[in-house]
Amino acid sequence: MKTSNVSCFDLVTYLSEKRGLVDRYLDAYLPSEDRYPQQFSKALRYTLFSGGKRLRPILHLAAAEAVGGEIQSLIPFACALELIHTYSLIHDDLPPMDDDDYRRGQLTSHKVFGEALAVLAGDALLTEAFCLMSTKAVTNGLEPQIALKAIQEITEAVGASGMVAGQAVDILEEGHAAGAPVLEYIHNHKTGKFICASVTTGARLARASQQELESLFQYGRAFGLAFQIRDDILNVEGDPKKLGKSVGSDMARKKVTYPSIHGLDRSKKAMEDLVEEAIERLSSFDHQADPLREIARYIIDRID
């Protein structure tokens, strides 16, 4: 993690505090492991509590803070983002998709619980996310019209015009020597839109102005792409122990990635330029946007 540009803001403490907030809420929200059917309840919790950076919820809360909002009433929304993210990881690891045995250093859900329960755990986490956003979030005192707009934005980012479509193209294009336009489509849809919506919905729920939303959209767009490029780079030269999963799988499956099209050096440069752009997009924000600035800088050196 780069610290050269950090003044008094402590990113490590910030991330740990926000992670704690999210984890406590998720723990209370989900059925306990001893609730019938116990094997399913265990599967629901297994991947969710197997680590993970909680990046999307933290970006959501940090964006709310950047526009001067309070975050307590946004915690259900933030947690819903993590539920959606976890469902996508469980399904992505399944044999008909990436067929991965390890994630975050632990056996994947289907290796522990079997494919059927892993599919169902993912299905349930996705469904619960929308329950959280539509009920708990609104009863938390959020403006219903704004909450509804945020739910639409998240749906668009993760559904048939977003993450799922990106995943579909990723699978359909395996081994096809796809070019830059396909790569751009996959990165934008599979990763970028969800990360971007995590930022903009946090700000929207905190009553951001149109101008603030536009700047944060641009921040999220640049951040999301930089994050995915870093992911592609880690799949080439990351440390499997730190990543908690194998590397080299993209090349083995002949997947189109930033390094496969642009090479490693140009990929690193593109990522650094995008991080710089993301930070630049926050130029009209005061110190309350420091967490967003530091989270963007953190991408460049992230190792997991």
Burial of 185 (0-12, 13-18, 19+ CB in 10 A): middle
Q: How many CB atoms lie within 10 A of CB 165?
A: 18
Burial of 149 (0-12, 13-18, 19+ CB in 10 A): middle
Question: Is the Cβ of residue 54 or residue 281 nearer to ligand GRG in the bound state?
Answer: 54
Residue owning tokens 């690891």 = 93
Contact between 164 and ligand GRG by CB under 6 A: the answer reads yes
Residue owning tokens 């934005």 = 153
What is the C-alpha to C-alpha distance for residues 293 and 40, in angstroms, rounded to an integer? 39
What is the C-alpha to C-alpha distance for residues 184 and 267, in angstroms, rounded to an integer? 13
What is the C-alpha to C-alpha distance for residues 138 and 127, in angstroms, rounded to an integer? 17
* Minimum separation from the CB atom of position 82 to ligand GRG (A): 8
* Minimum separation from the CB atom of position 92 to ligand GRG (A): 4
* Minimum separation from the CB atom of position 148 to ligand GRG (A): 23
Structure token digits, residue 197: 């919506």
Of 41-49, 89-97, 206-214, 272-280, the segment contacting ligand GRG by CB under 6 A is: 89-97
Site for ligand GRG in 58-87 (CB under 6 A): 85
* Minimum separation from the CB atom of position 53 to ligand GRG (A): 4
Among 167, 200, 218, 260, binds ligand GRG (CB under 6 A): 167
Question: Is the Cβ of residue 73 or residue 188 nearer to ligand GRG in the bound state?
Answer: 188
* Minimum separation from the CB atom of position 55 to ligand GRG (A): 4
What is the C-alpha to C-alpha distance for residues 170 and 173, in angstroms, rounded to an integer? 5
Count of residues binding ligand GRG (CB under 6 A)?
16
Among 42, 91, 136, 255, binds ligand GRG (CB under 6 A): 91
State the amino acid at position 192 in one-letter form.
G
x-marked contacts with ligand GRG along 188-207 as a string, rule CB under 6 A: --xx----------------
Contact between 19 and ligand GRG by CB under 6 A: the answer reads no
CA atoms within 13 A on the CB side of 10: 6
Helices (H), the chain: 11-29, 38-48, 55-66, 75-93, 109-113, 115-131, 137-139, 144-158, 163-172, 180-186, 193-205, 210-237, 240-243, 249-252, 258-262, 264-280, 290-301
* Minimum separation from the CB atom of position 216 to ligand GRG (A): 19
* Minimum separation from the CB atom of position 36 to ligand GRG (A): 28
Among 231, 289, 290, 291, binds ligand GRG (CB under 6 A): 231
Site for ligand GRG in 28-57 (CB under 6 A): 52-53, 55
Question: Is the Cβ of residue 285 or residue 298 nearer to ligand GRG in the bound state?
Answer: 298
Q: Which residue is nearest to ligand GRG (CB)?
A: 52
Residues within the interface to ligand GRG (CB under 6 A): 52-53, 55, 85, 88-89, 91-92, 104, 163-164, 167, 190-191, 228, 231
